[in-house]
């Protein structure tokens, strides 16, 4: 239990579980996305807990006027319109998943691609008219940049550089599946990934990032039914042997340097710290987030915590 002074008077007391639930809702409140009871359970950091206990705790903080219930959804916002917005976004995501699976199949045929997963808003089951379909791609070692370059060419030539259905912004290799950066944002992204191809590498990715369970011990692995194991496509059988040599190593380094120079020039207004947090350009990882979305989300979460503490006179760890 917590009993803390705020503005020289005693704050309301919260149990650890209430604290945990509010933090979960605060994170998704950044996106105006209310959660179901099951989703709150999956996002809880309490391992030995059940849904009934969470529901009882939710009722307590609803009575305090901190949390609001809109049909089957819970939110920190009193406005019930966010529930309607979520339902519409869920419907669009259901439609878009079919498009995502088509493009996943295309991506899986490219040289040195070993696994394709969906990330971003679609992996959370939500899309709106402004949303892109984001892909998390696992490649063979030392060939990540050849894969990214070939996929980028495909996007520019055949999709007219549109990222609406083809946003390829995260690549890692099979030999470096552990994500070094550890925070709630990365944990959410990894926990919600949806595998569409190369299921064995998804399982290895989960195994390499067991630290995610420290954040979400109850979060389930995705359903593996119908997801194919990696099997070389005809194009991979033809092209990959030609590049599994010094020429391939040279081309991979060349492509990596090409992307580095391009991003450095295009985002020359970024200082070194901002550039390195937005773009990871290494042999075993490639991320492209020029909007610094992760930093914005973490900063927004920090600000929301402070505002809620003052508004309701509570302490949130």
Among the four given CATH numbers 1.10.10.10, 1.20.1600.10, 3.20.20.140, 1.10.490.10, the one describing domain 5-83+297-312: 1.10.10.10
User: Residue 2 — very low, low, confident or very high, per pLDDT cuts 50/70/90?
Assistant: very low
Q: How far apart are CA 258 and CA 253, in angstroms?
A: 8
User: Residue 48 — very low, low, confident or very high, per pLDDT cuts 50/70/90?
Assistant: confident
Q: How far apart are CA 244 and CA 85, in angstroms?
A: 49
Q: How far apart are CA 111 and CA 17, in angstroms?
A: 48
Handedness of CA 152, 154, 160, 163 (dihedral sign): negative
Range from 12-21, 211-220, 301-310 carrying the lowest mean pLDDT: 12-21
pLDDT digits (tens, 9 = 90+) for 195-242: 999 999 999 999 999 999 999 999 988 878 889 999 999 999 999 999
For residue 316, pLDDT beyond 90: no
User: Residue 5 — very low, low, confident or very high, per pLDDT cuts 50/70/90?
Assistant: very low
Task: Supply the mean pLDDT for the chain.
Answer: 93
Q: In the predicted model, what is the mean pLDDT of residues 298-302?
A: 96
Q: How far apart are CA 194 and CA 191, in angstroms?
A: 9
- Determine which helix (DSSP H) or strand (DSSP E) holds 116, and give its type and residue range: strand 113-119
CA-derived radius of gyration, the chain: 22
Give pLDDT, residue 290.
Answer: 87
What percentage of residues in the chain have a pLDDT greater than 70? Answer: 96
Residue 240, both tokens: 């990959």
Question: Which sequence spans correspond to the domains of the chain?
Answer: 5-83+297-312, 93-292
Q: In the predicted model, what is the mean pLDDT of residues 2-22?
A: 67
What percentage of residues in the chain have a pLDDT greater than 90? Answer: 88
Give pLDDT, residue 6.
Answer: 38
User: Residue 11 — very low, low, confident or very high, per pLDDT cuts 50/70/90?
Assistant: low
Q: Which residues contact 191 (CB under 8 A, 6 or more apart)?
A: 212, 215, 216, 219
């Amino acid at each position: 239990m917590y009993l803390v002074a705020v503005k020289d008077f005693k704050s309301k007391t919260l149990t650890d579980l209430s604290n945990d639930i509010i933090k979960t809702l605060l994170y998704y409140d950044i996106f105006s996305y209310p959660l179901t009871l099951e989703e709150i359970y999956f996002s809880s950091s309490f391992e030995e807990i059940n849904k009934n206990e969470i529901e009882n705790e939710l009722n307590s903080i609803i009575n305090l006027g901190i949390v609001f219930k809109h049909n089957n959804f819970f939110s920190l916002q009193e406005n019930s319109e966010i529930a309607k917005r979520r339902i519409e976004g869920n419907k669009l995501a259901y439609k878009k998943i079919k498009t995502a699976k088509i493009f996943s199949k295309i991506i899986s045929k490219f040289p040195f691609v070993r696994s394709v997963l969906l990330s971003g808003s679609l992996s959370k089951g939500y899309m709106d008219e402004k949303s892109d379909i984001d892909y998390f791609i696992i490649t063979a070692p030392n060939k990540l940049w050849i894969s990214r370059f070939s996929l980028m060419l495909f996007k520019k030539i055949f999709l007219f550089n549109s990222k609406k259905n083809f946003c390829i912004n995260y690549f890692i290799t099979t030999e470096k599946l552990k994500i070094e950066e550890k925070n709630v944002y990365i944990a959410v992204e990894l926990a919600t990934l949806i595998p569409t191809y190369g299921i064995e590498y998804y399982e290895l990715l989960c195994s390499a990032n067991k630290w995610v369970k420290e954040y979400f011990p109850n979060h389930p692995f995705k359903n593996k039914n119908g997801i194919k194991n990696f099997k070389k496509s005809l194009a991979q059988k033809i092209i990959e042997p030609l590049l599994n040599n010094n020429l391939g190593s040279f081309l991979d380094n060349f492509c990596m340097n090409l992307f580095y120079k391009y991003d450095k020039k295009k985002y020359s207004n970024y200082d070194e710290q901002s550039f390195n947090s937005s773009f990871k350009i290494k042999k075993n990882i490639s991320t492209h987030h020029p909007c610094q979305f992760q930093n914005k989300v973490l900063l927004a979460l920090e600000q929301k915590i402070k505002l809620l503490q003052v508004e309701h006179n509570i302490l949130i760890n």
